[in-house]
Structure 1
């Protein structure tokens, strides 16, 4: 299961045009967490302060957000976790985790319950998409601390489009495009024009590999989350390649908010994390993290 798809799976039902519902209208209520058998999951905020450290769950092998390099965690989410820990006054620790089949499963495994075999939860999970409908469906989790937006974009080789006419999805009926396998980009292009682009799509295990294929000249374009495209192209962006966000016919949601998740039993921790992020947005520290990684910062909806 790819990290990108797991991250987006919670809002995938909102991505494509279809029947519209008012917020939570189609949700079947679950037993309220406060009305179920009491169980203590995770550490209380006071325990975190007393222990002097906080653990963040982050996705493994997920550049530029979180990955391991020379045995140490790196990436935008890692640095955001560090500034949260600094504001709270504790040491940051990072747990690089695998993505499961859905966002629901990831939140169950790492935030509110723990995996069935040998599982445990972390104090905070980073890079969790926020949508108001998720709060209806996953009541065991508090979604908070929105720190950025992400959007679907298309990167392309300047040499493939010398007239400056940037490609849109309709171009991929004929032009080759690299995508992450089973990602939102893959699903969208596979269904676009009733499968008109099916013969030109080149699929890779990650968006990073898709971008590398574009950089090698194996494809004319690549489609995926903006940050992954920008990170993959690096200095080539603006020199040999360009990136844009065209209209996506039939796609209701082309961008999404990124925040954090904490167990519903530890709302005081959620308040502290959200306040740390609010201050870091206000004084420009989060924007500086994106700039240091050569990424465009898109302000979150808070």
Structure 2
């Protein structure tokens, strides 16, 4: 039996679908209006003790968790962590005057579990928490539910887009209704997969080609095996052949959450660290360093709503 590798986009799809189904009303004005405070967590890992900003600067390094095997955001290349999130993590560490120690971590079944394993409690077996976790989606309703984490430092946004072969669409780029007849590649169990599969009447299902990762979906487009691919814009741009491929953001009727903000997660007990990290990110957004990091990987930086 082949085990299906979890990717952050799979559990993000489940989170966004759940959030889009939450009732409106009072929550539209106060996202925490219907929240019931959680019981105080027990048996948290002892290794979080003493990791405030003063202790971090005294010891000279900060631990930062990023997702493994997740280009263009974070992956290993020639034995070294690389990617957009890795470069931003190092920028944060430089601002604090310490070394960045990057930890590449696997994605758990849910975002809640990622934060529990990497920020406020630690995994069940082996390893420990990190001071910061990168690429944490920000939603005010979700932030109310996870009281053990400070959600801050929004440094980019992500949105769903379509990559397409320029030779296949020489005039107008495709929109989802095109995929009644044209083939489109997606990452299996991703937001794009769920959206296309749920298109009214199941009209698009026969033309959807599912792949284990977005990189493989884009490889099939670059090889001419499909006419288009749908997924997060940054991944499409990074893996696209710019001479042969266009990328655009079409209207997505019925898509509840097609864009989301990305920031960092920090243990709730260390607010001064959270403030310092947010200041570092704000400064790097203001002077263009974060946009330049994205450009270095051939990716458009979408400024976050902060």
The TM-score bracket by the shorter chain reads over 0.9
Deviations 1:123-171 (A, max 9, x none): 1000000111111111110000000011000000111123x12111111
Query: Is the Cα–Cα contact under 8 Å of residues 109 and 121 in structure 1 kept in the other structure?
Result: yes
Separation in 2 of the partners of 1:287 and 1:143? 21
Is 1:285 the counterpart of 2:285 in the alignment?
no
Secondary structure of the structure 2 residue equivalent to 1:114: coil
Contact 1:11-1:131 at 8 Å conserved across structures: no
CA contact (8 A) 2:45 2:121 kept: no
Pick from 8, 28, 33: which aligns with 1:3?
Answer: 8
**Aligned residues between the structures:** 295
In the other structure, the counterpart of 1:130 is 138
Q: Equivalents in 2 of 1:202, 1:192: separation in Å?
A: 15
Shift of 1:26: 4.6
Matches within 5 A, 1:38-77: 42=48, 43-77=51-85
1:257 to 254, 261, 265: 261
Q: How far apart, in 1, do the equivalents of 2:162 and 2:36 lie?
A: 37
1:177 equivalent among 184, 194, 209: 184
- Matched with 1:220 is 227
- From 139, 143, 163, give the equivalent of 2:151: 143
Offset, 1:20: 2.9
Q: Distance in 2 between matches of 1:29 and 1:47?
A: 30
Q: CA RMSD in A?
A: 1.8
TM alignment of 1:181-200, pairs within 5 A:
181-200=188-207
Paired residues for 1:27-46 under 5 Å: 27-31=35-39, 42=48, 43-46=51-54
Contact 1:60 1:66 in 2 (8 A): yes
**Structure 1: runs of 5 or more not aligned:** none
Q: Quick check: 1:301 aligned with 2:301?
A: no
> Which residue is 1:14 aligned to?
19
1:113 to 112, 121, 126: 121
- Find the aligned partners of 1:116 and 1:279 in 2 and give their Cα distance: 37
CA distances 1:11-30 after superposition (whole Å, capped 9, x unpaired): 332346x8535123453431
Cα 1:183–1:26 change in 2 (3 A) is farther
- In 1, distance between residues paired with 2:71 and 2:11? 15
**Long gaps (5+) in structure 2:** 1-5
Contact in 2 for aligned 1:67/1:75 (Cα 8 Å): yes
**d(CA) in 2 for partners of 1:174 and 1:13?**
30
1:215-251 CA distances to partner (integer Å, 9 max, x unpaired)?
0001000000000000001xx22x2111111111111
Q: Is the 8 A contact 1:109 1:119 kept in 2?
A: no
CA contact (8 A) 1:59 1:98 kept: yes
Q: Which of 202, 205, 225 is matched with 2:209 structurally? A: 202
- The answer to whether the 8 Å contact 1:41/1:112 transfers is no
Moved over 4 A (4+): 36-41
Q: TM-score, structure 2 length as denominator? A: 0.92
Q: Secondary structure at the match of 2:210?
A: strand
